Homo-oligomer: A and B are copies of this chain.
Amino acid sequence: MKLICKKSDLLAGVNIVSKAVPSKTTMSILECILIDASEGVIKLIANDMELGIETKVEGEIIVAGRVAIDAKIFSEIVRKLPDNDVMIEVDNDFTANITCENAKFNILGKSGEDFAYLPEIERNKSINLSQFALREVIRQTIFSIGDDRNNKILTGELFEVSRNNLKVVALDGHRIAMRNIELEDSYEDMSVIVPGKTLNEISKIVTGGTEDDMTIFFKDNHIMFEFDDTVVVSRLIEGEYYRVSQMVSKDYETKVTINKKEMLECLDRATLLIKEGNKRPIIITIGDSDMQFKMNSFIGTMDETIYIKKEGKDMMIGFDPKFLIDALKVIDDEEIDIYLVNPKAPCFIRDENESYIYLILPVNFTVANN
């Protein structure tokens, strides 16, 4: 194999496929990036068997062939090369010569014979959306997935297509994050559970804006994301997702409208009094025109009052402040509506057309301590 490409193009490709290189594995071939120049285009591929990424790199193939090179070493070398043309030449024993200006590296590669290529995915069920929309919807929900290895379904997100609506849901037993995105076209109904790890990685490499489209393909066991010169294939999580619609109610006794930034900064201050691993609730007292936030720990106490608009009953309710903070951080609205029923029932933060719904369970607290 012998090829020439620009350092910047090569680096961009390496950065993309590196997301599918496992940090720990016993199979050393999985730690490699495959450079495949055997079929007229230069492709970089990495695959940890759950998640596989393939991307094309512009360049000139002088001798066709392929080689697998340790991903960490290869990406470090490419990053530090001068910003110029890079030549990669592989001899018969798979030693890779990487040359750029006066710098020459010599790295032992592998034949790539036992490298796992990406599975073939039929292209019959798919949706289109912008790269920006996918990246945003992941950011706005991913914090609510569970890290519970015993319940694998919680470690993924529901992607549910119904006509021209994409619903994305994450939940962990204490809270639900739900977003609805309107699609340009209508599609047949589809529903899959995508691993959180896949979504985390893809949100880092889908860097396009609202004008940059991408396609998501659905199959029984796989999902495929296609954008620019890149294809990402991931296994799906098997099983049936929770019936979230049954948990989301529109009834409420109290509706609070509050400035999001003020509430977020107040909660942020309150958590200063919580040392790591030590859970303390924020106690919220809702009055006619203000809401009082109280935190009490062995470090000290904090209280703060914020002006609100209120409909319905007064209420005193406690929350894990982290859950409120996580939700508020990803809401772009200046003012938010919080719907409450009673101190034992979940609260809902949602906008009018339900483009987002965040459900958070309250925590018990004894007034005497707070």
Contacts and interface: CB of A to CB of B under 8 A. Distances in A.
A285 to B, nearest CB: 14
A272 to B, nearest CB: 5
A119 interface: no
A283 interface: no
B305 A106 contact: no
A269 B80 contact: yes
A102 interface: yes
Contacts of A242: none
B299 A73 contact: yes
Contact of A73 (B103, B272, B304): B272
Interface in A278-302: 299-302
A182 B103 CA distance: 40
Interface in A71-105: 73, 76-77, 80-82, 102-105
A135 to B, nearest CB: 29
Contact of A105 (B76, B77, B268, B301): B301
B269 A107 contact: no
Given A73-B272, A102-B306, 6 more contacts: A76-B272, A77-B269, A80-B265, A102-B305, A104-B304, A105-B300
Interface of A: 73, 76-77, 80-82, 102-108, 265-266, 268-269, 272-273, 299-306
